[in-house]
A and B are shown apart, each in its own frame.
Chain A
Amino acid sequence: MKEFSFAVTDPLGIHARPAGLLAKLCKGFEGTTVTVVKGDKEAKASQLMKLMSLAVKSGDTVTVKVEGPAENEAFAALEAFFKENL
């Protein structure tokens, strides 16, 4: 399992568009589970509605956990995604 923390700076946070793009990105790493944790709540990145209900906003720090056969690739792709989009 690999994980990284990310401080969100996008004022809109994880709303529909980035959530959808994130879910799509994660579907590309079959068998690898990506979990986004905010405080005591967490959601799998593939579960769009749960992900959006975390209501991640600018100023929040989230932890992204990656576990599975493609975790190295997924980790790199996710780090790049968060930096670029959030």
Chain B
Amino acid sequence: MGLFDFLKKSSVPASVPVEEVPGTILQPIEGKIIPLADIADGVFSEGVLGNGCGVIPAAEAVYAPISGTISTVADTKHAVGIEGDGVEMLIHVGLETVSMNGKGFDVKVKEGDQVKAGQLLMTFSLNEMSKAEGVTSTSAILVTNSDDLPCCEQLFTGDGKVGTPIIKVK
């Protein structure tokens, strides 16, 4: 079991090389990018928390979608906020994951940390999510101040890797 843990950990690099494009948000989680409206939770799909898109994870790691400062880390570890270059973002991992109380989540950053696009922010467990009642892995990538910006144009849907440009902000 210890050996598997070791292998699992070593498969999540502390950063991935990405090409930063000004005014562009990069894919933070490997998987299938979907329109925000397709997220099965009104608080996201109706844009209550801001514009953005969804991702159905195919891997268990979240990388910074922009360079900036960590603005918030949920106590329950399932959501991270980041702001940079006038863009405020929230990455909310899974739906109803607040009820998991942090189980399976490992956040690598804290409030106030400076991060570079492509830097590892947290890991999570799809297995733990599948065991938790009412939880699905579909995650939201949100620009929480989208009302104040010329935002957002979705650049891409479908299967993508970390670092793919997904949203144009300005």
Are B43 and A17 within 8 A (Cβ)? Answer: yes
Are B98 and A55 within 8 A (Cβ)? Answer: no
Considering the chains assembled together, what is the distance between the CA atoms of A55 and B147 in angstroms? Answer: 23
Interface string of B127-155 (1 = CB under 8 A from A): 00000000000000000110100000000
Are B98 and A16 within 8 A (Cβ)? Answer: yes
Q: Is A80 an interface residue (CB 8 A)?
A: no
Give A18's nearest chain B residue, CB to CB. Answer: B43
Interface residues on A, range: 10 to 19
Considering the chains assembled together, what is the distance between the CA atoms of A23 and B146 in angstroms? Answer: 13
Q: Is A7 an interface residue (CB 8 A)?
A: no
B76 CB contacts on chain A under 8 angstroms:
12, 15
Query: Given A12-B98, A16-B49, A48–B88 Cβ distance below 8 Å?
Result: yes
Q: Which of A20, A50, A53, A57 contacts B49 (CB 8 A)?
A: A20
What is the predominant secondary structure among interface residues of chain B facing chain A?
mixed
Are A53 and B71 within 8 A (Cβ)? Answer: yes
A12 CB contacts on chain B under 8 angstroms:
76, 98-99
Give A52's nearest chain B residue, CB to CB. Answer: B72
Interface string of A21-54 (1 = CB under 8 A from B): 1011001000000000000000000001110110
Name the interface residues of B64-79: CB closer than 8 Å to any CB of A. Answer: 71-72, 74-76, 79
Are B81 and A15 within 8 A (Cβ)? Answer: no
Considering the chains assembled together, what is the distance between the CA atoms of A86 and B136 in angstroms? Answer: 24
Query: Given A48-B144, A53-B71, A53-B111, A15–B48 Cβ distance below 8 Å?
Result: no
Q: Is B50 an interface residue (CB 8 A)?
A: yes
A27 CB contacts on chain B under 8 angstroms:
147
Are B83 and A49 within 8 A (Cβ)? Answer: yes
Q: Is B122 an interface residue (CB 8 A)?
A: no
B144 CB contacts on chain A under 8 angstroms:
48-49
Closest Cβ of chain A to B74, distance in Å, is: 6
Chain A interfacial positions (CB closer than 8 Å to B): 12, 15-17, 19-21, 23-24, 27, 48-50, 52-53, 55, 57
Chain B interfacial positions (CB closer than 8 Å to A): 43, 48-50, 71-72, 74-76, 79, 81, 83, 88, 90, 92, 98-99, 111, 144-145, 147
Starting from the known contacts A16-B49, A48-B144, A53-B111, 15 additional A-B residue pairs (CB-CB under 8 Å) come to A12-B99, A15-B79, A16-B92, A16-B98, A20-B43, A20-B49, A21-B48, A23-B48, A24-B48, A48-B90, A48-B145, A49-B83, A49-B90, A52-B74, A52-B79
